[in-house]
Amino acid sequence: MIKSDLKWSLGLVVALSIAIAILGCQDPGKGEFFYGTFGLEKKLIVATGGTLTASPFQLIQYSLTGEFEKVLYDSTVENRPMRGVAIIDPFSMLISTDTVDGILKYDVFDGISQFVGSGNLSGNIYNVRRKRSTGEIFVIESTAIESFDSAGNRIGNPRITNTAIGSCLLNGAVRGMDFNSAGYMIVGSQGNDDILMYDVSEPANTLCVAANQTMGNLDPISVLAHSNGTIYVATTNGTDSVLQFAGNLSGTGTAIWTGIATSQPSALVELPDGTILLAVDLTNNIIRMDTEGNILNEPFILDGFTTFVHDMAITEVP
Amino acid sequence: MQSSAFKFLLVCLTLLGASSFARKNDGVRVQLGVGKPTLEVTNPDDTKVNYTGLAGSLRGYIPLLTTEKFRTDLTGTLRYLDFENTNNNSTQSEYAQYIGPSAGLETSIYGFFVGAEYVVLKGRHISVGQFSRKIEFDLTSTNIYYGFRFNLGLGSIGVSTGKMSSTIPKDKTDLSTDSPWKASDVFLEFTYTFEMSTGKFISSIFGK
């Protein structure tokens, strides 16, 4: 009896030891949620808005592999060129529009509605972005940056003007805006060709975090704060290019993509796999490249909708 | 230290294995398993979804070919897997359950065993929190497993590990592609061997 109990105990100990040893090798780590449970998956959203009235102004949805899926909204008849798109949640996004200045809200269930009317915006409207931590909405308005709360109420007058804050100065047309992982806003200023980083945590006390003044006369048009910590800037003067800067904007930019003087890149976005999409107006296409600038797909997308891409975004899944 | 532990385990395995076949080896078996499974599902953008959980199984063995130290069984299993997403947080959580039968073959020698079975699973994934939704689907897979069983008289204690792979069909998820599905598990198994052959076992069930 004792011998039998001993054998069972020994067997249990050995079996448990082996099981624990195998389990020790099986840490799956933290991952994502399964998109299928929500019935949602990430999509590429492209906002178009040519400078010619004949151009179509459309919000287009593509798969992440570049297949056209559908036109979400067409504002051509309203003469509202789309200049920016910001994802709000898995079911809605904001679209900044010029000519009829304002911000529209596109909701999967409710369609289009006005988020901010022309009473609060005027001039040349460009990128719109959402600060994730506060839900505030920021939009480029000519040489300034306006902001709104999540209900569309204006914050600031405007939030950032063309007056120097420390070494940061919005000068001339502001083009390209993004938020990095620390919540700092990064914008391109075409008048002085600076790339500026602001701390916009306090509406009444905007701070200058960094200003890169090394570019020369290159006219930044789009800014991407990449998840790898670096900052990518597309430029449209001289030899059009995409420059990579350190995350703190120190030092000079390194060209990872170089076009020609008329390439006219217009928008940058990071795909979930870390690769970068660049919209190029000359060839009316969207290029996919890695973070070193090696071309992966050219064109990634080339169709009747990519004639003048002003902004791109990736939708969210919880 | 690791070397000593390995030697200890090896000695135990040898002693237990050598003493495992003192009796006749053609009895029908039933087995209860308690396991720790992991699951990996791949989203359409290739991001990974990881789950851990608990599992239980009930497996029956009908011997087809036996000698004193070797046997091959036809197996039938009912399996339940319960998972939670490793990304769960205070605002969003996801849980998954799978249940289903399987049938296969298992071969064992000196306590070591390897098996393969065809598995049918009914799956359910539930999201709870800011976004709530439920999807249900069926999937099939092949489970390849192996392990070691310490035969202790009519009972035995064993440990096994196995792997399954399949896809979650896109028509059940509203996604653009099927979702690759890979599960692995480690089971602690308790097996009881009846002192009767297949024929006697069936006869005893039907009272003849």
Rounded CA-CA distance A12/A139 in Å is 65
Q: In this model, does residue A119 exceed pLDDT 80?
A: yes
Q: Which residues contact B115 (CB under 8 A, 6 or more apart)?
A: B75, B104, B105, B106, B107, B143, B144, B145, B146, B162
Q: What is the pLDDT of residues A159-191, one digit of tens each?
A: 999 999 999 999 999 999 999 999 999 999 999
Q: What is the pLDDT of residue A161?
A: 95
User: Can you spell out the DSSP letters for B38-93?
Assistant: EEEEE-TTS-EEEEEEEEEEEEEEEEEEE-SSEEEEEEEEEEEEEEEETT--SSEE
In whole numbers, what is the pLDDT of chain B averaged over residues?
Answer: 87
pLDDT attached to residue A235: 96
Smallest CA-to-CA distance from A257 within A236, A273, A274, A272 is with: A236
- Output DSSP code: residue B170: G
pLDDT at B9: 47
Query: Are B152 and A4 inside 8 Å of each other by CB?
Result: yes
Contact A31 B87 (CB under 8 A): yes
CB contact under 8 A, A39 and B135: yes
pLDDT (0 to 100) of residue B18:
42
Q: Under an 8 A CB cutoff, do A12 and B157 touch?
A: yes
Which residue has better confidence, A5 or B136? B136
pLDDT at A131: 96
DSSP state of A7: H
Interior angle at CA B35, CA B29 and CA B38, nearest 5: 135
Percent of chain B with pLDDT over 90: 66
Average pLDDT value for chain A? 91
Of B106, B89, B92, B81, the residue nearest B181 (C-alpha): B81
Tokens of A230: 């670096």
Is the pLDDT confidence value at A16 over 80?
A: no
Among A111, A95, A89, A106, CA closest to A40: A89
Contact A7, B19 (CB under 8 A): yes
Q: Is A122 in contact with A143 (CB distance < 8 Å)?
A: no
Copy the structure tokens of residue B37. 């499974």
Task: Identify the pLDDT of residue B12.
Answer: 46
- Please, which pLDDT band fits residue B130 given cuts at 50, 70 and 90? confident
Give CA–CA dist A6/A275, Å, rounded: 60
Query: pLDDT (tens digit, 9 = 90+) per residue, A23-36?
Result: 666 778 888 999 99
Average pLDDT over residues B59-80: 93
Q: pLDDT value at position B66?
A: 87
Of residues B113 and B69, more confidence is placed in B113
Contact A19 B188 (CB under 8 A): yes
Nearest to B188 among A15, A32, A34 (CB): A15
pLDDT at A8 exceeding the cut of 60: yes
CB contact under 8 A, B50 and A30: yes
pLDDT at B35: 95
pLDDT single digits (tens) A130-140: 999 999 999 99
How far apart (Å, rounded) are the C-alpha atoms in residues B186 and B34? 8
Q: How far is A197 from chain B (nearest CA, A)?
A: 30
* Cα of B45 to nearest chain A Cα, Å: 7
How far apart are the CA of B116 and the nearest CA of chain A, in angstroms? 20
Query: Residue B21: what pLDDT?
Result: 43
- B interface test, pick of A26, A30, A37 with most B CB neighbours within 10 Å: A37
How far is CA A308 from each of CA A93, A279, B115, B156, B198, rounded to the nearest angstrom?
A: 20, 8, 59, 71, 75
Check if the beta carbon of residue A41 is closer than 8 Å to that of residue A47. Answer: no
Q: Is it the case that residue A217 has pLDDT exceeding 70? A: yes
Residues A32, B168: C-beta atoms closer than 8 Å: no
Angle, helices B2-18/A2-24, rounded to nearest 10 degrees: 130
Average pLDDT estimate for A198-227: 96
Q: How far apart are alpha carbons B186 and B190 in whole angstroms?
A: 13
Task: Quote the pLDDT of residue B22.
Answer: 41
Q: Enumerate residues 6+ apart whose C-beta is below 8 A from A106.
A: A59, A72, A73, A92, A93, A94, A95, A112
Closest residue in B to A33 (Cα) is B49
Question: Is-cis flag, bond preceding B44, omega within 30?
Answer: no
Q: What is the mean pLDDT of residues A56-73?
A: 93
User: Which tokens hold the place of A144?
Assistant: 């300034």
* Matching residue, tokens 């975004």: A313
Express each pLDDT in B15-34 by its tens digit.
444 444 445 677 899 999 99
Find out whether A194 and A162 touch, Cβ atoms under 8 Å. Answer: no
d(CA B135, CA B129): 15
Is residue A88 a contact partner of residue A107, using CB atoms and an 8 Å limit?
no
**Given an 8 Å threshold on Cβ–Cβ distance, is A35 in contact with B173?**
yes
Q: Per-residue pLDDT averaged across A13-26, rounded?
A: 71
Q: Kindly report which listed range (A51-60, A200-209, B93-102) carries the lowest average pLDDT score.
A: A51-60
**Which of A7, A12, A34 should we substitute to test contact with B (largest number of B Cβ atoms within 10 Å)?**
A34
Burial class (CB in 10 A: 0-12, 13-18, 19+), A6: exposed
Confidence of residue A50 (pLDDT cuts 50, 70, 90): low
- Cβ-based contacts of B161 with chain A (< 8 Å): 22
Q: Token digits for B195? A: 């002192």
- pLDDT tens digit sequence for A263-289: 999 999 999 999 999 999 999 999 999
Helix (H, G, I), strand (E, B) or coil at B96: strand
Which region holds residue A181: left if phi is over 0, alpha if psi is between -120 and 50, else beta?
A: alpha
The side-by-side arrangement of strands in the sheet containing A58-62 is A68-74, A58-62, A44-48, A309-314
The answer to whether residue A295 neighbours chain B at the CB level (below 8 Å) is no
- Rounded to an integer, the average pLDDT of B99-124 is 96
Q: What is the pLDDT of residue B17?
A: 45
Q: Which two tokens stand for residue B177?
A: 């592609």
Q: What pLDDT score was predicted for residue B1? A: 42
At A38 the pLDDT is 87
Q: How many CB atoms lie within 10 A of CB A79?
A: 12
pLDDT score at B40: 97
B7 confidence band (pLDDT: 50, 70, 90): low
User: pLDDT for A245-265, tens place per residue?
Assistant: 999 999 999 999 999 988 999
Binned at pLDDT 50, 70 and 90, residue B150 comes out as confident
Q: Which two tokens stand for residue B161?
A: 């590990």
**Across the interface, which of A8, A18, A35 has its CB nearest the CB of B43?**
A35
pLDDT, residue B208, reads 56
Q: Is residue A170 within 8 Å of residue A144, measured between CB atoms?
A: yes
Chain A residues within an 8 Å CB radius of B89: none
Tokens of A266: 């217009």
Cis? peptide before B63, omega within 30° of 0: no
Instruction: List the strands of the sheet with A285-289, edge to edge.
Output: A265-270, A276-280, A285-289, A295-301
pTM here is 0.77
Q: Which of A314-318, B56-60, B188-192 has the lowest mean pLDDT?
A: A314-318
User: Cβ–Cβ of B157/A39 closer than 8 Å?
Assistant: no
Would you tell me which residues 14-73 of chain A have a C-beta closer than 8 angstroms to some C-beta of chain B?
14-19, 22-23, 26, 28-42, 63-64
- Over its C-alpha atoms, chain A yields an Rg (Å, rounded) of 24
Task: Report the percent of chain A where pLDDT is more than 90.
Answer: 76
The Cα-based distances of A285 to A282, A302, B8, B63 in angstroms read 8, 5, 66, 65
| pLDDT over threshold 80, residue A12 | no
